[in-house]
Structure 1
Amino acid sequence: MTDNFVSGDIGGTKTLLQATEWLAGDAQVRFERRYSNREYSSFSDVLGDFLGNTSALGMKPPLSACFAVAGPVTEQGIKLTNLPWLMNARVLEREFGIPAVKLINDFEAVALSVEVLAVDDLVTLQKGLPYANGLRVTLGAGTGMGVAWLIWQGGRYIPLPTEAGHIDFAPVDELQMRLLDYLRKRFGRVSVERVLSGPGLVNIFNFLLDEWGGTENLAQARLESDEAPQVSDLAFNQGYPVAMKSIDLFVKIYGAYAGNLALAGLCRDGVYVAGGIAPRIIGKLQEGGFIKAFREKGRFSSLMEDIPVHVVMNPTAGLMGAAEEAKRMLVAGPGRE
């Protein structure tokens, strides 16, 4: 007899949903679909369409569901940070007749995927000296900046969601100080996410455009917040100086921030850099600027050399983590969470 569960990864721009059959310890994905969030007014509309498709395939209604969501989950409810959707687990249970629904932070889901990622899903920037069962941290720039810790407890890693992407941006040199001043005039308070995200990369580009405006013959106009892919195209395909400098500065800030998180948690069992941007700039991350900035922690620089650093290349890591939790919920059964 088979049972079914549903998992999902809901970001600022897209939603990935997956339906899986569970039989005698074997999980088999039966259906998966990607949705553009802008085309739907609510998550219920997305889930309703998805379950309609699984029903048409002859699948039974799911017994559990876990959805990774971009934003802070409070009492199993959330208003997404970068999307005007409201979600509530109990409402979804009643609306779709699913016995157990759980919402988790998107980087909580990425953290859950670390244990099931394949070797080929990771690119190692620093091997370090891993401590078995030591603290881990996952972070990643995409539409925003996500962070989650992983702590060993009860024989497995437990994810701890955070909103560390919204802590203050900490510049480390004169150029970054000028970037902070530039962004402060625009936003007031400047969080890490204002710099390390898709819109953050655009902020860096526009800042450098202004910095170099008096000395460079610049034909490129300022970009809008959703045009981060254009910065990458200008840098990697067109060799545009401001765009190349933007990527370099982004990587340096990224490395320093990852190092701050690793130091704050003493993450001796690894730092996992995920999110949508890292795989697209993996060549730059491997050049050394990221790790150099990661290690530059003064008296603790030698300690930083011992912390493993990996880049998660699998774009479905969040979905994998949500599926792991939905499977655990199914095995545990209602009321045994």
Structure 2
Amino acid sequence: MRSGVACCLAGDIGATNTVLALVTAAGGVRQPILTRTFQSADYPSLEVILDEFLGGSSAVVQRATFGVAGPVIDQRVQITNRLWGVDARSVAAHLGGLPVHLLNDLEALGHSVPQLQAQDLVVLNAGQRDERGAIGIVAPGTGMGEGFLVWDGKGYRPCVSEGGHSDFAPNNEVELELLRYLMARFGHVSVERVCSGLGLPNIYAFLRDTGREIAPEWLEAELDAANDATPVIVGAALSDARACSIAKRTLDIFVDVLAAEAGSFAVRLLATGGIYFGGGIPPRILVLLREPRFMSVFLAKGRLRSVLDAVPVFVINNSGAGLLGASHHVLLGD
């Protein structure tokens, strides 16, 4: 890195990972001069992560934008599914008083959507895109994020949402029983309780505990030894080496719920500009999302089926999209 180079600091802060980058106007959002990923659970605060990232650097940081997993209120956020939070004023003071802005992680992802290129996307439904139509983002990762973009006359403006915490709406008898099972455990059952990294183990437990499926001993042993059950279940479901009915059915229910929720979100928004799937899970289960059943469930909205049939549907297949959006925001200087 050149000595004293002026740059901006961007970050994508999640319950699992925190990714930071230094970007310049000359290099743009796709050519950071420095980037690094940290395990969020290994640090007590963002400030400590920043000290490690910037330690020894001669870069002159002018301003910072962070996309954060959770609702941003008065430039403060308690990271969903993580014990520590972020306060823009505290971070600004820690960085010597430079301007710091917090974005909801889905708002940051929204800033990335107009910057995405063909190689960043997998097309599930080509549709007929309205160049100024509303755009929806559905992002199952550790939690379930939902956001949207609207055209303001000059460009697309990302908008925040906590739609992942809205009610789970079952669409068949098994999902109704799943709802009853989860209501007994949690009371309120959100979409996130089912359709997220946190939700997949809930579906698995429902199938096992109600006797609908038998959990093999080898899988139970792997789950007991794992810090995170979701990769184990997904891996077992997609494995060709050994059949695992309960894992496959768990993932099938997850995919149906994801398709139905995304279709409902598209109806609510009239998302003629497209639906984009973000988050960590969709790229890992592309083989299932590409199957005809996924779009069939997505489109199953009765009289509005023909409207949804024209909605383009994409999977964002760029793990750095959230950082891309935060970088775009900070370089704009908004």
* TM bucket normalised to smaller: over 0.9
Shift of 1:139: 1.1
Distance 1:148 1:25, change over 3 A: closer
Q: For 1:227 and 1:323, how far apart are their aligned partners in 2?
A: 32
> Quick one: which of 319, 322, 325 aligns to 1:321?
325
Q: 2:199 — aligned with what? A: 200
Q: 1:266 — aligned with what? A: 270
Q: 2:48 — aligned with what? A: 45
1:301 paired with 2:325, answer no
1:246 paired with 2:250, answer yes
Which sections of structure 2, spanning at least 5 residues, go unmatched? Answer: none
1:285 paired with 2:289, answer yes
Shift of 1:28: 3.9
1:94 paired with 2:129, answer no
Shift of 1:175: 0.5
CA contact (8 A) 2:215 2:246 kept: no
CA contact (8 A) 1:262 1:271 kept: yes
Q: 1:148 — aligned with what? A: 147
Shift of 1:313: 0.7
The size of the alignment, in residue pairs, is 325
> Quick one: which of 21, 25, 30 aligns to 1:22?
25
Q: For 1:235 and 1:47, how far apart are their aligned partners in 2?
A: 38
Q: 2:232 — aligned with what? A: 230
> Quick one: which of 31, 36, 50 aligns to 1:33?
36
Q: For 1:292 and 1:173, how far apart are their aligned partners in 2?
A: 14
Superposition pairs for residues 117-156 of structure 1, below 5 Å? 117-156=116-155
Q: For 1:138 and 1:30, how far apart are their aligned partners in 2?
A: 29
Q: 1:333 — aligned with what? A: none
Specify the code of the residue in structure 2 equivalent to 1:195: V
Q: Secondary structure of 1:221's partner?
A: helix
Q: For 2:193 and 2:228, how far apart are their aligned partners in 1?
A: 13
CA contact (8 A) 2:134 2:271 kept: yes
RMSD over equivalenced CA pairs, Å: 1.9
Q: For 2:163 and 2:27, how far apart are their aligned partners in 1?
A: 39
Shift of 1:84: 1.5
Q: For 1:98 and 1:52, how far apart are their aligned partners in 2?
A: 17
Q: 2:6 — aligned with what? A: 3
Q: For 1:105 and 1:195, how far apart are their aligned partners in 2?
A: 21
Q: For 1:309 and 1:259, how far apart are their aligned partners in 2?
A: 10
Specify the code of the residue in structure 2 equivalent to 1:111: G
Shift of 1:59: 2.0
Q: For 1:287 and 1:267, how far apart are their aligned partners in 2?
A: 22
Q: 1:13 — aligned with what? A: 16
CA contact (8 A) 2:15 2:41 kept: no
CA contact (8 A) 1:63 1:98 kept: no
Q: For 1:251 and 1:26, how far apart are their aligned partners in 2?
A: 32
CA contact (8 A) 1:199 1:226 kept: no
Shift of 1:98: 4.8
After superposition, what is the alpha-carbon deviation per residue over 1:210-258, rounded to whole angstroms, capped at 9, x for unaligned?
3445x74743439578310000111111320111111111111100000
Scaled by the length of structure 2, the TM-score of the pair is 0.93
Distance 1:24 1:257, change over 3 A: closer
Deviates more, 1:15-24 or 1:311-320: 15-24
CA contact (8 A) 2:29 2:327 kept: no
Specify the code of the residue in structure 1 equivalent to 2:70: G
Once the two structures are aligned, what percentage of the paired residues are identical?
A: 38
Specify the code of the residue in structure 2 equivalent to 1:130: R
Q: 2:112 — aligned with what? A: 113
After superposition, what is the alpha-carbon deviation per residue over 1:6-62, rounded to whole angstroms, capped at 9, x for unaligned?
100000111000012334979741111111111111111001111114x1xx322x1
Deviates more, 1:138-147 or 1:231-240: 231-240
CA contact (8 A) 2:30 2:324 kept: no
